């Protein structure tokens, strides 16, 4: 087995569950949940189902009264049957149309996609790989015309390139990357901005639109905010510490109230190789982030990804990037005020006083939940006045207490332990080493915080916690040795004010199969056998204030079903009821989702379809370019499997869900 093959599998494992690098003894969310609910004399809300799961038979749990669920639920659609196969499936009465696939043209003069003759130049003009976050920005107030903004998180070489995989003892062995291959991968990262329009009820790209744009791992960007220009951000190529090329591993993201596109840099550790010089000051900083991870070989051809050659380069990644989509020549800005860690996304809401609040998850086992509150206020009448709001404000990290209260702890230089005595000479140091600052403040280690969605109508926010298989102790609220299926925490900000520094928390759902009592899932008993899920990842709050949840990690081996998009009730008698709306092909992850404001379209992203198939009886072996578990969405022998964005609409028109 080659080193590249080993790194390939390590990369996939870390993408699924994260290496877990928190060295502190801070009380974990599992400890706090156990303490909180074990001292109650009764269980209420969604937690009541945990008690039911321990005493009621699995058959009874699955005997949901669908008529009653529909009458109480804010959702009404025929549920999709959960399962695994080579295609995608949407609720009856809806269309799921592929809008953009890897390799599709972004510009009218872009070359046609040829998977057997790929090039960096072609990929820079084509839709990138592994679409994750999807956002929609209407143009001129129209509901049938706007900019689609899409993150391209990472690449799967074994699915992308022909002739590079061999099988050894039933395992994939991937040939070492060439310079051409590395450059194609760099061009397939980043993001896409593209105008789309509805024509005869169907969305389609406008290839000659002037605002269309590709952003890649080589696009020039500017570092702004408190850490910009700091010595720890300077390299041999950039003595200013303010200019960096490219953005990588853009997972979820956001669209700001003023219509800019947010790209969040997540698992940046895997792009670096080499060794730091002995005694280098960044050693502990990089250990806390897992740098270098060595999953990619770009550093063999671009020295900035070799920490031995450019020790400060990793400090220039792990930020939130803001893009002015109304100017295709604008320089994207890495906003350092929002901290540096493995950002899942950056969803925002305008608070009562006009300031803007961004919720941020650090996607690693035992890492933290954050929010950023701008110093300035949003001006809805002057877009230009909002363009640098993200350079000034306060970053907070969350502590969840066992009595159901919580506190947002400010990450401000000079306050508490965030002083020179602990290695923080300035606010820049805190932002460069945000994780370590959170460690010292006693933040609560969580089970892979991913998307966090605020609901502007209720003053609540929903935290997707995908899983944590390293949990070693069972507890009353999570009666499993390892939290394999994740859960959703609901934050209730004090007085419904998103800028509040205190609040309360509740568990909306503990995920997993409710028919297995020891799993301790807390879906309502109205949830059918198709409606439960594991591994919550991305989420959206639609214009009606309803919660949609997409997942990452469901498979034949884990849950007997693929990932998908579920509609989840959060209020009233139906609270904790979930219904399956859309599911992806074998091996894929469900990303997005993005409902339009008029609720007539739900955009979703199908990421890495065909990445797997060992546990599915329809394939039964590893999947790679020459032997794929699915050829979705084209189903052509001359086309590989292709990540794609899908537009879901109701047949005959009307609102989704």
Whether residue 638 has pLDDT greater than 50: yes
Q: What is the pLDDT of residue 400?
A: 92
Task: Tell me the pLDDT band of 481, cut-offs 50, 70 and 90.
Answer: low
Percent of the chain with pLDDT over 90: 83
Q: Look at residue 239 and tell me whether its pLDDT is greater than 50.
A: yes
Q: What is d(CA 437, CA 422) in angstroms, rounded to the nearest whole number?
A: 9
Average pLDDT taken over every residue of the chain = 91
Whether 185 shows a pLDDT value over 50: the answer reads yes
Q: Which pLDDT value is given to residue 37?
A: 52
Q: Do 99 and 205 touch, CB atoms closer than 8 A?
A: yes
Q: What is the pLDDT of residue 35?
A: 62
Place of tokens 């993150």: 151
pLDDT for the residue numbered 91: 98
14, pLDDT greater than 50: no
Q: Is-cis flag, bond preceding 91, omega within 30?
A: no
Q: Tell me: pLDDT of 16 over 90.
A: no
Does pLDDT of 32 surpass 70? no
Q: Which domains, from first to last, does the chain contain?
A: 3-104+120-235+255-266+318-650 (2.120.10.30)
Report the phi/psi class of residue 423: left, alpha or beta, with left for phi > 0 and alpha for psi in -120 to 50.
left
Higher per-residue confidence, 20 vs 161: 161
**527 and 578 in contact (C-beta within 8 Å)?**
yes
Phi, psi (degrees; rounded to nearest 5) at 89: -145, 140
Query: Quick one: average pLDDT of 384-405?
Result: 95
Write the DSSP assignment of 463-505 as a string of letters. EEE--BTT--S-BTTB-SSSB-S-EEEEEEEGGG-TT-SEEEE
Q: Give residue-wise pLDDT tens across range 190-238.
A: 999 999 999 999 999 999 999 999 999 999 999 999 999 999 999 999 9
**What integer pLDDT is reported at residue 333 of this predicted model?**
98
- pLDDT for 11 equals 41
DSSP result, 2-31: -HHHHHHHHHHHHHHH--------PPPHHH
* Percent share of the chain, pLDDT over 70: 89
Q: Give residue 170's pLDDT.
A: 83
Of the pLDDT bands very low, low, confident and very high (cuts 50, 70, 90), residue 110 is very high
Q: Is the predicted pLDDT of residue 25 greater than 90, yes or no? A: no
Assess whether pLDDT exceeds 50 at residue 3. Answer: no
Q: Does residue 1 have a pLDDT over 80?
A: no
What pLDDT does 470 receive? 86
Confidence band of 33 (pLDDT split at 50, 70, 90): low
Distance CA 106, CA 195 (A): 9
Distances (CA, A) of 364 to 34, 446, 590: 21, 8, 19
Question: What is the arithmetic mean of pLDDT over 91-109?
Answer: 98
Mean pLDDT of 496-522: 93
pLDDT in tens, 54-95: 333 344 334 444 444 455 899 999 999 999 999 999 999 999
Reported as a single tens digit per residue, the pLDDT across 368-380 is 999 999 999 999 9
Q: Is the dihedral of CA 38, 40, 42, 43 positive or negative?
A: negative
Write out pLDDT tens, residues 327-347.
999 999 999 999 999 999 999
pLDDT band at 46 (very low <50, low <70, confident <90, very high): very low
How far apart CA 191 and CA 262 sit, in angstroms, is 10
Rounded Cα gap, residues 562 and 586, in angstroms: 6
Q: What is the dihedral of CA 384, 385, 389, 391, to 10 degrees?
A: 80
CB 541 within 8 A of CB 454: yes
Q: What was the pLDDT predicted at 47?
A: 36
Residue 21 pLDDT class (50, 70, 90 cuts):
confident
Mean pLDDT check: name the lowest of 502-511, 513-522, 615-624: 513-522
Between CA 593 and CA 136 the distance in angstroms is: 11
Mean pLDDT score, 446-455 = 95
For 484-506, the pLDDT digits (tens) are 999 999 999 999 999 999 999 99
Q: What is the mean pLDDT of residues 113-137?
A: 98
Which of 507, 508, 519, 553 minimizes the C-alpha distance to 62? 519
Cβ pair 285, 436 in contact under 8 A? yes
For 614, other C-beta atoms within 10 Å of its C-beta total 15
Q: Which two tokens stand for residue 376?
A: 């300035």
Look up residue 440 and give its two tokens.
């010292």
Averaged pLDDT for residues 634-652: 98
Residues comprising the chain, all counted:
657
pLDDT score recorded for residue 30? 66
């Amino acid at each position: 087995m080659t080193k590249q093959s080993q790194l390939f599998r390590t990369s996939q494992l870390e993408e699924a569950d994260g290496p877990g690098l928190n060295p502190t003894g801070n009380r974990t969310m599992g400890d706090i949940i156990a303490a909180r609910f074990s001292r109650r004399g009764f269980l209420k809300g969604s937690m009541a189902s945990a008690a039911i799961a321990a005493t009621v038979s699995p058959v009874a749990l699955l005997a949901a009264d669908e008529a009653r669920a529909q009458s109480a639920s804010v959702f009404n659609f025929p549920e999709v049957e959960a399962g695994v196969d080579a295609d995608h499936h949407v609720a009856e009465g809806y269309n799921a149309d592929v809008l953009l696939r890897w390799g599709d043209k972004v510009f009218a003069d872009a070359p046609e996609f040829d998977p057997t003759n790929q090039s960096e130049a072609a990929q820079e003009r084509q839709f990138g790989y592994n679409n994750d976050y999807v956002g929609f920005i209407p143009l001129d107030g129209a509901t049938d015309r706007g900019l689609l903004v899409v993150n391209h998180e990472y690449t799967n070489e074994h699915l992308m390139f022909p002739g590079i995989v061999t099988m050894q003892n039933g395992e994939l062995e991937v040939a070492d990357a060439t310079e051409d291959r590395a450059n194609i991968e760099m061009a397939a990262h980043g993001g896409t901005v593209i105008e789309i329009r509805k024509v005869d009820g169907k969305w389609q790209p406008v290839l000659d639109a002037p605002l269309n744009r590709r952003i890649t791992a080589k696009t020039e960007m500017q570092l702004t905010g408190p850490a910009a220009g700091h010595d720890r951000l300077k390299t041999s190529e950039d003595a200013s510490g303010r200019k960096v090329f490219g953005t990588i591993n853009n997972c979820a993201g956001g669209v700001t109230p003023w219509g800019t596109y947010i790209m969040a840099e997540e698992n940046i550790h895997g792009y670096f190789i080499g060794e730091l010089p002995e005694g280098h000051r960044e050693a502990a900083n990089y250990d806390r982030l897992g740098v270098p991870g060595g999953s990619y070989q770009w550093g063999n051809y671009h020295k900035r990804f070799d920490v031995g050659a450019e020790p400060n380069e990793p400090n220039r990644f792990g930020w939130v990037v803001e893009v002015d989509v109304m100017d295709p020549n604008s320089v994207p800005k890495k906003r350092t005020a929002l901290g540096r860690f493995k950002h899942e996304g950056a969803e925002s809401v305008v608070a009562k006083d006009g300031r803007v609040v961004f919720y941020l998850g650090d996607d690693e086992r035992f890492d933290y939940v954050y929010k950023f509150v701008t110093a300035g206020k949003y001006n809805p009448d002057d877009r230009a006045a909002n363009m640098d709001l993200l350079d000034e404000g306060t970053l907070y990290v969350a502590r969840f207490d066992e009595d159901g209260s919580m506190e947002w702890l400010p990450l401000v230089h000079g306050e508490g332990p965030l002083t020179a005595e602990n290695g923080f000479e300035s606010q820049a140091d805190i932002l460069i080493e945000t994780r370590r600052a959170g460690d010292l403040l006693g933040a609560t280690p969580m089970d892979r915080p991913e998307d966090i969605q605020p609901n502007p109508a209720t003053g609540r926010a929903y935290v997707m916690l995908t899983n944590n298989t390293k949990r070693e102790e069972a507890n009353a609220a999570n009666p499993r040795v390892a939290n394999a299926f994740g859960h959703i925490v609901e934050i209730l900000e004090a007085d419904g004010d998103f800028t509040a520094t205190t609040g309360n928390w509740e568990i909306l759902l503990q995920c997993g199969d409710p028919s297995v009592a020891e799993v301790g899932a807390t879906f309502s008993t109205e949830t059918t056998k198709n409606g439960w899920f594991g591994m919550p990842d991305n989420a959206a709050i639609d214009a009606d204030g309803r919660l949609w949840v997409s997942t990452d990690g469901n498979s034949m081996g884990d849950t007997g079903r693929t990932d998908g998009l579920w509609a989840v009730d959060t209020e009233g008698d139906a609270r904790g009821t979930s219904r399956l709306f859309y599911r992806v092909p074998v091996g894929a992850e469900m990303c997005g989702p993005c409902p339009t404001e008029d609720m007539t379209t739900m955009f979703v992203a199908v990421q890495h379809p065909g990445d797997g198939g060992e546990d599915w009886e329809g394939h039964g072996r590893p999947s790679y370019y020459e032997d794929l578990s699915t050829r979705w969405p084209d189903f052509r022998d001359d086309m590989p499997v292709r990540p794609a964005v899908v537009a879901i609409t109701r047949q005959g028109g009307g609102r989704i869900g």
